[in-house]
Chain A
Amino acid sequence: MSAQALTARAASLASCHDCGKLSRLGRGHAHDLRCPRCGAALHLRKPNSVQRTWALVIAASICYVPANLLPVMTVTSLGKPVADTIMSGVVYFIEHGDWPLALVIFTASVFVPMMKLAILVFLLISVQRRSRWRPVERTRMYRLTEAIGRWSMVDIYVITIMVALVRLGNLATIEASAGAVFFGAVVVLTIFAAESFDPRMIWDRSEPETR
Chain B
Amino acid sequence: MPPTSLVACESCDLLHQLPRVPEGHTARCRRCGDLLRRRPRNGLERTLALAFASAVLFVVANSFPFLSFDMRGLSTQTTLLTGVVDLWQAGREAIAALVFLTIELAPAVQIGLILWVLGPLRFGRRPWLLPVAFRLLRHAHTWSMLEVFLIGILVAMVKLLGMASVVPGISLWSFIVLIGVLTAAISYFDPEEVWERLEAGP
Q: Which residues of A contact B152 (CB under 8 A)?
A: 153-158, 160-161
Q: B-facing mask of A185-208, CB < 8 A → 1, else 0?
A: 101100100010001101110000
User: Which of A1-41 touch B at CB < 8 Å?
Assistant: 1, 5-9, 11, 13, 15, 18-22, 37-40
Closest to A8 in B: B8
Evaluate contact between A158 and B159: CB separation under 8 angstroms. yes
Shortest beta-carbon distance from B17 to chain A in Å: 5
Q: How far is the CA of A139 from the CA of B31 in the complex (A)?
A: 11
Cβ–Cβ contact A157 & B87, under 8 A:
no
Which residue of chain A has its CB nearest to the CB of B94?
A181
A168 touches B135 (CB 8 A): no
Contact mask for chain B residues 8-46; partner A; CB cutoff 8 A; 1 contact, 0 none = 101111110100000000000001111000000000000
- Given the complex, which residues of A lie within 8 Å of B138, measured CB to CB? 18
Contacts of B108 in A (CB 8 A): none
Size bracket, chain B contacts: 35 or more
B76 touches A166 (CB 8 A): yes
Tell which of B47-55, B114-122, B141-149 binds the partner. B141-149
- Asked whether any CB of chain B lies closer than 8 Å to the CB of A130, the reply is no
What residues on B are CB-neighbors of A119 within 8 Å? none
Q: Which listed residue, A11, A92, A176, A191, touches B92 by the CB 8 Å rule?
A: A176
Q: Return chain B residues, CB-CB under 8 Å to A187.
A: 98
The residues of B that contact A211 with a CB separation of less than 8 Å are none
Task: Tell me whether A167 is interfacial, beta carbon within 8 Å.
Answer: yes
In the assembled complex, how far is the CB of residue B22 from the closest CB belonging to chain A, in whole angstroms?
Answer: 19
Docked-complex contact B90 and A165, CB < 8 angstroms: no
A154: chain B residues at CB < 8 Å are 148, 151-152, 155
B residues whose Cβ falls under 8 Å from a Cβ of A: 6-8, 10-15, 17, 31-34, 67, 69, 71-72, 74, 76, 78, 82-84, 86-87, 90, 92, 94-95, 98-99, 102-103, 130-131, 134-135, 138, 142-143, 145, 148-149, 151-153, 155-156, 158-160, 162-163, 166, 191-192, 195
19 extra interface residue pairs, beta carbon distance < 8 Å, beyond A38-B130, A160-B95: A6-B15, A7-B8, A18-B135, A20-B192, A104-B151, A150-B145, A153-B145, A157-B99, A157-B149, A159-B95, A160-B84, A161-B67, A161-B78, A163-B86, A164-B76, A166-B76, A171-B72, A191-B142, A200-B13
